[in-house]
């Protein structure tokens, strides 16, 4: 569990505990329907205020990642573990097919191109395929920093092959 998620859960627990007296008093005042019911409704406001932020953090922001998993930079987290598992099982062609499927869905993500380059330079030892992936990445990536990172990675992997 991420440290941020644990902190948000601790905050939620503390605020729930602080809200219990207000909720109990509101329930006690709501039971007989009379003028005291208005006071019971007013006592529901503090728990709502106390609990709104941590519940929101856990459900919808990148703190909890319960509904929308995001990485540190706010982008959707890519699920590259299946191709990595296939690589561990020495099923390199299947892993490359999965990488290509992910690349078609997310053509502007550098992580995919780097993983594909590492596979082609390392396990597959296919320089032509690596050159094709590099040119595809350079054509699809929009961010200049990502292009530079891809070029550096390609250059580094080529340099390792020479030694």
Model confidence over 73-115: pLDDT tens digits? 556 667 788 899 889 998 999 999 999 999 998 888 899 999 9
Model pLDDT, residue 1: 57
Over the chain, what is the mean pLDDT?
80
* Residues, the chain: 163
In this structure, the number of other CB atoms found within 10 A of the CB of residue 84 comes to 15
| pTM of the shown model | 0.54
pLDDT value at 66 more than 70: no
Give the span between the Cα atoms of 152 and 156, in whole angstroms: 6
What is the chain's percent helix, strand, coil content, to nearest 5? 70, 0, 25
Q: Outline where 43-122 has alpha helix (H).
A: 45-60, 81-88, 92-105, 110-121
pLDDT tens sequence across 3-33: 767 777 787 788 888 788 877 877 777 676 6
Q: What is the mean pLDDT of residues 129-137?
A: 92
Q: How many CB atoms lie within 10 A of CB 47?
A: 18
Is 65 exposed, middle or buried (CB count within 10 Å of its CB: 0-12, 13-18, 19+)? Answer: middle
């Amino acid at each position: 569990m991420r440290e941020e998620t644990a902190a948000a859960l601790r905050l939620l627990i503390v605020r729930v505990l602080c809200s219990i007296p207000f909720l109990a008093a509101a329930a006690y005042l709501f039971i007989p329907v009379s003028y005291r019911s208005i006071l019971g409704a007013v006592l529901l406001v503090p728990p709502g205020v106390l609990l709104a932020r941590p519940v929101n953090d856990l459900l919808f922001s990148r703190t909890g990642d319960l509904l929308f998993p995001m990485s540190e930079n706010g982008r959707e987290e890519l699920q590259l573990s299946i191709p990595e598992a296939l690589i561990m099982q020495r099923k390199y062609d299947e892993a490359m097919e999965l990488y290509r499927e992910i690349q078609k869905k997310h053509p502007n993500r550098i992580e995919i191109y780097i993983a594909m380059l590492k596979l082609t330079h390392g396990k597959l030892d296919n320089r032509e395929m690596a050159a094709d992936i590099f040119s595809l990445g350079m054509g699809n990536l929009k961010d200049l920093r990502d292009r530079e990172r891809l070029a550096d990675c390609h250059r580094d992997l080529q340099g390792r092959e020479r030694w």
